[in-house]
């Protein structure tokens, strides 16, 4: 019983250390909990999740890390942190497709999850193709995807493309002809000459 309490304490302490960015200490605690001889309980799923990502990122064991993260998701599928750690561990092994799938599952569980949202921005996550029965690279899907993007971003996409598509015209030149006459100046203020008197 005391050993079970120790395992739980090690696990939760290790999880918190990892969340705080203290991976070296956190992984030591998680490894101690995972390697415990007490098998009365499997331990929290987050223990395997953070241990998996940690050993993949910091111990150079990406495949073992993926296996642990997948195990964590099987234990507790509806835990957003498990999907988050699985997604970023998939990225470490270069499996973007599975990373995107895990990322989407996590965001469905918790749309406000800070880590998942940051990862989505980092990955530049693409939307699903408009016509799912065609490949993403199909010309029709590419055209419809651009159209969808333009509709959702009218001020940047549509205006930008419209401006880019209009060629710049040279300044109009005046037609050849006689030089324009100078505009008459203001009327003279000098009074006109008085008429001469006639000789009698």
Query: Domain 2-125: what homologous superfamily?
Result: Tetratricopeptide repeat domain (1.25.40.10)
101 and 70 Cβ atoms separated by less than 8 Å:
no
Query: Given a cut of 80, is residue 133 above it in pLDDT?
Result: no
Query: Given a cut of 70, is residue 103 above it in pLDDT?
Result: yes
Residues of the chain with CATH 1.25.40.10: 2-125
Distance, CA of 117 to CA of 125 (rounded, Å): 10
Distance, CA of 50 to CA of 158 (rounded, Å): 44
The answer to whether the pTM exceeds 0.75 is no
Confidence of residue 127 (pLDDT cuts 50, 70, 90): low
For position 149, what pLDDT does the model report? Answer: 58
28 and 14 Cβ atoms separated by less than 8 Å:
yes
Helix axes 2-19, 23-34, angle to 10 degrees: 150
């Amino acid at each position: 019983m005391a050993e079970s309490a120790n395992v739980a304490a090690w696990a939760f302490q290790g999880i918190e250390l990892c969340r705080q960015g203290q991976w070296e200490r956190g992984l030591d605690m998680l490894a101690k909990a995972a390697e415990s001889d007490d098998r009365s309980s499997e331990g929290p799923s987050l223990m395997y999740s953070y241990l998996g990502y940690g050993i993949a990122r910091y111990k150079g064991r990406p495949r073992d890390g993926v296996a642990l993260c997948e195990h964590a998701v099987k234990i507790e599928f509806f835990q957003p942190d498990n999907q988050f750690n699985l997604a970023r561990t998939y990225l470490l092994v270069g499996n973007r497709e599975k990373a995107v799938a895990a990322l989407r599952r996590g965001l469905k569980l918790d749309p406000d999850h800070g880590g998942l949202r940051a990862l989505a921005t980092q990955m530049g996550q693409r939307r699903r193709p408009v016509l799912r029965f065609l490949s993403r690279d199909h010309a029709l899907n590419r055209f419809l995807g651009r159209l969808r993007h333009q509709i959702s971003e009218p001020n940047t996409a549509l205006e930008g493309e419209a401006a880019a598509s209009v060629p710049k015209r040279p300044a109009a030149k005046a037609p050849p002809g006689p030089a324009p006459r100078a505009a008459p100046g203001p009327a003279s203020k000098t009074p006109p000459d008085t008429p001469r008197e006639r000789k009698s």
